[in-house]
Structure 1
Amino acid sequence: MSLNILVDTIFVGNWIGSIAIAAINVVLPVSFFIAALGMAIGIGGSSIISRALGANDPNKALKTFGNQITITLLLTVSMVILGLVFVNELIPAFGGMGDIFEPAKIYYRIVLYGVPVLALCMMGNNVIRAEGKPKFAMIAMIIPSLGNLILDYLLINILDMGMEGAAWATTASYICCFFYVLWYFLSDNSELKIDISHFGLDWPILREMSALGFVTLARQAVVSLTYLLMNNILFELGGEASVTVYAIIGRMLMFALFPVLGVTQGFLPIAGYNYGAENFTRVRESIKLALLYACGVAILIFIVIMAFPEAIVSVFTQDEAVLRDTPWAMRWVFAAIPIIGIQLIGSAYYQAIGKATPALLLTLTRQGFFFIPLVLILPKFFGELGVWISFPIADTLSTVVTAYFLWRETRNLTSSSTSA
């Protein structure tokens, strides 16, 4: 998924222009939030499915999966309709002003058509992992990345379709992913063979799914709000060029965090399954292993970013202003990345074991409770520097808070294991 977004940005930056990078950055929060509905429903339902399978309750797992499909379609289609109706209001609100507006509008309309398909892919991908089939889930994510790479080259470079080509490449790549996910659940690879009776909404399951999935949705909603604030603040401080700088940094931040989030997503069903089976020793081991891998990946990415920021930016664009301003800003944004795995794994743990309230609060600490207030206050004193230093300060504060709660919970698990 991170490669998919990254490829779009590189191709449009080199073949259309730096304004096109800013245009995609404006559209991303809207489509990202609607697609996040699918991710939230997938993660919330998958927590139930993992624990149901661990407790040997296949009927609850099947009913949960059917409800996931129904609610994903209802919500995402409704959001797409609203998104298309209010297109002229939403794009400027997310920073699509000046020269950015028209290319952003072109990209927005086409990408929005494919968002329900993307939501179903994200939902289905989480369910595949909940079944313990990570290789199939990985293939499901590789398909749109490769498809987007090929289609971007064909539609933008060969057919010269510009922003329309970039948008159709993204949409078509997720349609390919959807057909693969559909094949998986219809084949013998999946245990979840649902029928029409499972699609009827079950309110107790929906309540539990919503409580757990709301953690993910809230996180993605805060991400969308962050893009809205950043695009508007940076447009006021430096115009289209500053929005482009943030767009490139945002892509690299996604590219950096998605591998860490991948470890987090792999951790969720393992922790949930073993917690449901009351195997607390394995839950504790999975926490340690997830932290090791998440922080290890983050450290490697940190080293690359700090060593080669100029080379990385030059891949996206040759715009002199962007090449000049992006590297120093990128170093500030990534300064605390090595420790971010602790915050992500810590909040995900509470989500995995079904404790929605602490999961929600810990998820919101980073961008909701710390970053947004900082980015509203610090630029008034430090200008653009205030925007960039808000990132490492928020990362550090949220990690300290999450680390404390995770440490306390690990002690409780040790006590439970000893008692057992």
Structure 2
Amino acid sequence: MAQTETNIATKADQKRSARLGTQPVASLLAEYALPAIVAMIASSLYNIVDRIFIGNGVGPYAIAGLSIAMPIMNLTTAFGSMLGVGSSSLISIRLGQKRHEEAKQVLGTTFLLNMMVGLLVCVCGLIWLEPILRLFGASEQVLPYAKEFMQVILIANVFNHNFLGFNAVMRATGYPRKAMMSTFLTVIVNVVLAPLFIFVFDWGIRGAALATACAQFCGFVWVMTHFCNPKNDLHFEKKYFRLIGKVIADIVSIGSSNFLMHACTCIMVIILNSSLVHYGGAEGDMAIAAYGICNSVVMLFLMVVIGLNQGMQPIVGYNFGARLNERMMQAYRLTIVVATAVTTFGFLIGELFPRSIVSLFTNDETLIRLSTTCLRTILISFPVVGFQMVTTTFFQSVGKAAWSIFLSLSRQLIFLIPALIILPRMFGLSGVWAALPTGDILASVLTLIVIVLKMKQFTKVPRELTKETNIQL
């Protein structure tokens, strides 16, 4: 009886995956992207709420400490994200190719990798935490806040690795709403616990970190419950808990662009913070805090684009694996249109109401002034950012890791870091702010050139396959 139920569930999950190759692309994108978008917005709001609580409950230097800690936290989670993006893309392709057993092999290998990498990052991070924080620009005044926050985050790192990785796999295998609910769970836990720990228990920035760690653990339990259920087509099976070299190489290859983007962002932040301290003079720490505030606002809109990309990824990956190129390109083009509309809206909001937005985080007049200037400057390039992000994810979704890596790195390494070195020498602190949109605009131009040159590879449609599969475009 149990075996019969499992077989029925397996067929249902396979049918759910097969819809990616038959149902209208627009409805699929809405179905897969909307839950991801809601989850990403919730995740971004969770970071914004953290900064608002810390700014009003601890002070502006605590915001600066969080601004130092956040890119390091993002780097630690980038390992889990790399494995999640790589495995979810690979699983989508394998399901599109009807190679279900190989998809299960990817799942088992991903779990072992997440556990090993998560523990390694935790140990190394705790050992070298203070030198790393100083490298990222922490002054004596800011260091205690950043250190308190990161110690807690690193201890809980292994849970966050698995949560991020398997939440992406859950979404890619036909459970976008369930993936959304896992993110909602983490947001609710964090929003409830953060003010309690900061204001009631008076634990300061450590309380904010503890709230985040508790939220990540709850998310971990949620996704593990899903993949431990044998009624799901893709679930943990003992025989697949093996480290398979070819699978590891494929996961890392596909997901490495995501990780390298985070790594380059960290290099950029080191240079950025150094420039802010140098050209900000006596207001250097406040300039770092200002960038942290503006970055959290910007990420609210970029998270929508990331959610769109997460919705697009299984559609593009499945149809690429099934050789349904016309549907694949339709999903790509539609995602670009929506992403551009979102970033243009963010540009308008930020340019029209910058002071009102940043005043939510602090009542310190110096910090408000610096944040207002920063926000208006970095949003100049926002209307074209969505296109660049979607195209990078598109190459990743079809297994073109080299192009995805190249486009991911182009913004930071080729354009932004040189701009951060050159422009401040000419324009001081204003040059630091101006370097950010400069990198975005130049990277978008390069992305346009690459996709135009590669377009012919993705527009050839196998007509006989389209006729046989009763596809709705």
Larger radius of gyration: 2
- Against the structure 1 CA distance between its residues 70 and 135, is the aligned structure 2 distance closer, same or farther, given a 3 Å change threshold? same
Partner of 1:246: 291
Residue 279 in 1 paired to residue 321 in 2?
no
* Correspondence 1:106 to 2:148: yes
| Structure 1 residue 380, shift from structure 2 partner | 1.2
Per the alignment, residue 341 of structure 2 pairs with 296
Mark the CA change 1:190 to 1:6 in structure 2 (over 3 Å): closer, same or farther.
farther
Does residue 343 of the first structure (1) align with residue 388 of the second (2)? yes
Shift of 1:188: 6.1
Structure 2 residue corresponding to 1:160, chosen from 157, 178, 202? 202
Aligned to 2:37: none
Quote the Cα distance in structure 2 between the aligned partners of 1:6 and 1:196: 40
Q: Of 62, 71, 76, which residue of structure 1 is paired with 2:104?
A: 62
Q: What pairs with 1:223-372 in structure 2 (closer than 5 Å)?
A: 223-238=265-280, 239-372=284-417
Residue in 1 aligned with 2:259? 217
Distance 2:311 2:175 in 1: 10
- The aligned runs of 1:199-214 (5 Å cut-off) are 199-214=241-256
Deviation at 1:304, TM superposition (A): 1.1
Q: Counterpart in 2 of 1:29?
A: 71
Aligned to 1:89: 131
How far off is 1:46 after superposition? 1.1
Paired with 1:343 and 1:30, the residues of 2 have a C-alpha distance of 24
In the alignment, what sits opposite 1:139? 181
The verdict on how the C-alpha distance between 1:224 and 1:189 changes in structure 2, with shifts beyond 3 A counting, is: farther
- Report the Cα distance in structure 1 between the residues aligned to 2:458 and 2:342, rounded to whole angstroms: 26
Counterpart of 1:187 in structure 2 is: 229
The whole-number CA distance in structure 1 between the counterparts of 2:390 and 2:71 is 24
Q: Which runs of 4+ in 1 moved over 6 A?
A: none
In the other structure, the counterpart of 1:408 is 453
Match of 1:77 in 2: 119
> How many Å separate the matches in 2 of 1:96 and 1:34?
18
Amino acid at match of 1:110: V
Q: Counterpart of 1:201 in 2: which secondary structure?
A: coil
In 2: Cα distance, 1:340 partner to 1:17 partner: 32
8 Å contact kept, 1:29–1:228: no
CA distance in 2, matches of 1:341, 1:223: 17
Cα distance in 2 for residues equivalent to 1:47 and 1:223: 23
Asked if 1:18 is matched to 2:60, the reply is yes
Q: Which amino acid aligns with 2:349?
A: V
1:116 aligns with 2:158: yes
In 1, Cα distance between equivalents of 2:382 and 2:461: 33
CA shift digits 1:102-141 (9 cap, x unpaired): 1111111111111221111110111011102111111111
CA contact (8 A) 1:31 1:115 kept: no
Report how far residue 44 of structure 1 moved.
0.6
Instruction: Identify if the C-alpha distance between structure 1 residues 34 and 110 changes in structure 2 by more than 3 Å, giving closer, same or farther.
Output: same
Report the number of matched residues.
Answer: 420
1:152-203 C-alpha deviation (Å, 9 max, x unpaired): 1111112211111111011111111111111222336732122222121001
CA deviations 1:295-352 (Å, max 9, x no partner) are 1111111111111110111000011101112112211101111111111111111111
Q: CA deviation at 1:407?
A: 2.9
Give unpaired runs (5+ residues) of structure 2: 1-42, 466-473
Q: Equivalents in 2 of 1:46, 1:135: separation in Å?
A: 16
CA distance in 2, matches of 1:103, 1:194: 40
Give how far 1:361 is off. 0.3
**Structure 1 vs Structure 2: percent identity of aligned residues?**
29
Given the two structures, how large is their TM-score scaled by the length of structure 2?
A: 0.86
CA distance in structure 1 between the partners assigned to 2:413 and 2:164 by the alignment:
23
Q: Aligned Cα RMSD in Å?
A: 1.4
Counterpart residue type for residue 261 of structure 2? R
Contact conserved, 1:131 with 1:190, CA < 8 A, in 2? no
Counterpart for residue 176 of structure 1: 218
Task: Establish whether residue 125 from structure 1 lines up as the match of residue 170 from structure 2.
Answer: no
CA distance in 2, matches of 1:30, 1:393: 24
What runs of 5+ residues in structure 1 fail to find an aligned partner?
none
| Greater RCO (Cα-Cα under 8 Å, separation 6 or more) | 2
Q: Which moved more, 1:394-403 or 1:222-231?
A: 222-231
* Partner AA of 1:236 in structure 2: H
Q: Which amino acid aligns with 2:118?
A: T
Deviation at 1:279, TM superposition (A): 0.6
Q: TM-score, normalised by structure 1?
A: 0.97
Following TM superposition, by how much is the alpha carbon of 1:419 offset from its aligned partner in structure 2, in angstroms?
Answer: 8.7
Quote the offset at 1:417 in angstroms: 4.7
